[in-house]
Structures are given as C-alpha cells and as structure tokens.
C-alpha cells in the first residue's frame, strides 16, 4: 500500500497533465493563427516536407506587413463597421422584446419549458434570399437572439425575490411601475449579459450573411474574411491576421459574461 503522500502527489501530477493537455488542445490553433499573422511570407510558405524548417517558431523576425495589408488594402474595416451597425441594431431590438418577455415568463406565466427557447429552430429553415441587404440581417438575427435572451433573462428575473415587487406594489406602485422602478435596476447585470450575447450571436453567424449579402461592401466580418478578403492571390498571413484581431476581443469579453450565462443555464436545466 503506497503511502498516501505519494498517491496525492501522483494525483496532482495527473491533474496538471490533463489540464495541460486540454489547454493545449484548445489553444494551439490560436497560437498558429498568431504565428502566421506575424511571419514573413518566405517563413510561412515552406512546404511541410522540409524537415529542418520548424513552422511553430519564428525563423525570420516577425513582421507587421500582413496587418498593414489588411488595414490598408482590403475591405476589412468596412466589414467591421457593418458588423457593429448590425450588431447594435439587433441588440436594441432584442432587448426591447426579450426583457418584457423574460419577465413575463419568470413571474406571470409558466407553461413553456425554458430550454426550448434557446434551440435555434430558425437555422433549419433555408432562407429565401431577400437580396443583398444588411437590413435583412437586422430583421432575421433577432429570430434567434430573442428566444435565447428571453431564456437568459427569465433566469435573472427569477432570481429577484417576489417579496420586493409586492412590497413596491403595497408601497404605492402598479405592477408595471414596480417592475420599472425596482426590478429592472436589480436585473441590470442580466440585461447587460443579454446584450452581450445578442452581439456575440450576431458575430458568429455566417450562413445568413452568406445567403443575404453578395456585394463586398455590405459584408460582415464573419462573411468577408473567409470569402472576400483577396482579389487574386491567396494570403494566409493576412487572413490569420484578420481572424486574430477579430477573435481576441470577443473571447476576452466572453469570459466576463460566461459565469452568468452558465448560472442561468444550469438553473434552467437542473431545476427546470
């Protein structure tokens, strides 16, 4: 029987090794993106059969030329602007509709199984080409952001004790006024989370953008980068540069909100 101490240490090592493995698994494509974005072309385009050229490191000093190309010679910034506009519009529409719906489902009715709300049934239906218009996207995106955010907000509203609303009603307000004055301020973090996830969901979409948008000047980043970044020669460096600077901000902000999202998800699933 091994002494406990040794077993504990072995377990610790196994723990760190597994954690390390998963970390590596998740992160290596990003590392590869990073490296590609800053490598000289002749450091990049070396056939994989060449043994002594190690692709994982910088064999030549890093360069900013891909970023210069990206920001100067492509429509990338236009796409960023488009994405922000569409995103903002969708967030507004979503919050306007999902906040009252989330409240109603949390307090006033209760017959919908909440998990149903975040299944994007709209994805299944092939969309039918309103041609080349960003407004089409603004119209269509809420069909999945609204159910998702309603479900999210439902969880947040449920966590606010009923007592407080009823106290406000006794203290002199109608239920609607009580919601506005007492409940909403307390649900602010939920509203922010919903806003963020609406935007994140918009950024994720590729299919609707592919279907609705055909002219380069109207594309979003998620569509433009894979499909329209270059006119003639394919440029992996620039593409990875674009992918990197688009991904990193989202990923950072995701982390700020993920706790709340998960809390909502498990309360919904575990306790119904």
Partner 1 sequence: MALPEQAPAAARPAPLALRRATLADREGALGRLLMAPAFLYVILLVGIPFVLAILLSFSGARSGSLAFSWVGLYHFATIIRDDQFQRTLVNTLIFTVVSQILVMILATTAANVLEAAFVGKRAVRMVLLLPWAVPVSLATMAWAWIFDSTFSVINWTLRAGGLMKGWIYWLGDTELAMAAIIIIHVWRMFPFATVVLLAGLTAIPTEIREAAVIDGASFWRRLFQVNLPLLLPVVAVAVLFGVVFTSTDLSVVYLLTRGGPYNSTHVLSSLAFQRGILGGDLGQGAAIALFLLPALVLVAIGLLRLARRSEVGG
Partner 2 sequence: MAYVETKDLRKAFGDVVAVDGVSLSVGEGELLVLLGPSGCGKTTLMRMIAGLETPTSGEIWIAGERVDVDVPPRARGIAMVFQSYALYPHKTAYKNIAFPLEAMATPPAQVRERVAIGARRFGIERLLSRFPRQLSGGERQRVALARAVVRDPKVFLFDEPLSNLDAQLRALARYELREFQRQIGTTTIYVTHDQVEAMGLGDRIAVMDKGKVRQVGTPQDVYDYPTDTFVATFLGSPPMNLVEHDEQTLYGFRPEHLLPRAAFAQEEDVVIYHLRVRQVEHLGADRLIYGHLKEETRADQPVIAALPVTIPTPVAEDQVYEFAVPARAMRYFDRTTGLRRLDGAA
The answer to whether residue 171 forms part of the interface with partner 2 (CB under 8 A) is: yes
Cβ atoms of 192 and 169 closer than 8 Å:
no
The answer to whether residue 148 forms part of the interface with partner 1 (CB under 8 A) is: no
Member of 2, 4, 51, 231 binding partner 1 (CB under 8 A): 51
Member of 9, 119, 130, 164 binding partner 2 (CB under 8 A): 164
The answer to whether residue 8 forms part of the interface with partner 1 (CB under 8 A) is: no
Member of 125, 163, 170, 232 binding partner 1 (CB under 8 A): 125
The answer to whether residue 233 forms part of the interface with partner 1 (CB under 8 A) is: no
The answer to whether residue 74 forms part of the interface with partner 1 (CB under 8 A) is: no
* Smallest distance from partner 2 to CB 184, Å: 10
The answer to whether residue 64 forms part of the interface with partner 1 (CB under 8 A) is: no
Member of 90, 195, 203, 219 binding partner 1 (CB under 8 A): 203
- What is the biggest distance separating any 2 CA atoms in the chain, rounded to whole angstroms? 79
User: Half-sphere exposure (CA, 13 Å, Cβ side) for 100?
Assistant: 6
Nearer Cβ to partner 2 (186/210) = 186
Residue 124 interacting partner from partner 2, partner 1, none (CB closer than 5 to 8 Å by kind): partner 1
The answer to whether residue 185 forms part of the interface with partner 2 (CB under 8 A) is: yes
Nearer Cβ to partner 2 (110/161) = 161
Q: Where are the alpha helices (DSSP H) in the chain?
A: 4-38, 41-44, 65-73, 76-103, 134-140, 142-158, 162-171, 175-178, 184-186, 188-204, 207-212, 221-228, 236-271
C-alpha separations of 154 from 167, 180, 260 in Å: 21, 16, 12
Residue 100 interacting partner from partner 1, partner 2, none (CB closer than 5 to 8 Å by kind): partner 1
The answer to whether residue 181 forms part of the interface with partner 1 (CB under 8 A) is: no
CA-to-CA distance for 129 and 212, rounded, in angstroms? Answer: 6
What lies within 8 Å, CB to CB, of 134 at 6+ separation is 82, 85, 86, 213, 218
CA-to-CA distance for 140 and 70, rounded, in angstroms? Answer: 29
* Smallest distance from partner 2 to CB 163, Å: 4
Nearer Cβ to partner 1 (73/166) = 166
* Smallest distance from partner 1 to CB 190, Å: 16
The answer to whether residue 270 forms part of the interface with partner 1 (CB under 8 A) is: yes
The pair phi, psi for residue 230, each rounded to 5°, is -125, 155
What lies within 8 Å, CB to CB, of 36 at 6+ separation is 44, 236, 237, 240, 241
The answer to whether residue 150 forms part of the interface with partner 1 (CB under 8 A) is: yes
CA-to-CA distance for 215 and 231, rounded, in angstroms? Answer: 13
CA-to-CA distance for 78 and 95, rounded, in angstroms? Answer: 26
Binding site for partner 2 (CB under 8 A): 161, 163-164, 166-174, 182, 185-186
């Amino acid at each position: 029987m091994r002494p406990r101490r040794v077993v504990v240490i072995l377990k610790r090592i196994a723990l760190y090794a597994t954690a390390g493995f998963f970390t590596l698994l998740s992160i290596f494509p990003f590392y590869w993106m990073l490296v590609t974005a800053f490598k000289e072309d002749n450091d990049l385009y070396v056939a994989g059969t060449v043994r002594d050229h190690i692709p994982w490191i910088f064999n030549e000093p890093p360069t900013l030329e891909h970023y210069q190309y990206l920001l100067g010679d492509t429509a990338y910034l236009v796409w960023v602007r488009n994405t922000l506009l569409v995103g903002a519009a969708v967030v507004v529409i979503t919050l306007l509709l999902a906040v009252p719906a989330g409240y109603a489902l949390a307090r006033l009715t209760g017959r919908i199984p909440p998990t149903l709300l975040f299944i994007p049934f709209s994805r299944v239906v092939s969309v039918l080409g309103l041609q080349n218009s960003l407004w089409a996207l603004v119209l269509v995106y809420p069909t999945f952001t609204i159910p998702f955010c309603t479900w999210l907000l439902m969880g947040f509203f449920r966590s606010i004790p009923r007592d407080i609303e009823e106290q406000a009603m006794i203290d002199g307000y109608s239920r609607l006024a009580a919601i506005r004055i007492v409940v909403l301020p307390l649900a602010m973090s939920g509203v922010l989370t919903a806003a963020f996830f609406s935007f994140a969901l918009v950024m994720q979409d590729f299919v609707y953008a592919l279907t609705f948008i055909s002219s380069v000047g109207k594309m979003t980043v998620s569509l433009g980068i894979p499909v329209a970044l270059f006119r003639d020669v394919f440029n992996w460096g620039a593409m990875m540069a674009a992918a990197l600077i688009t991904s990193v901000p989202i990923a950072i902000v995701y982390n700020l909100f993920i706790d709340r999202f998960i809390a909502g998800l498990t309360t919904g699933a575990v306790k119904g």
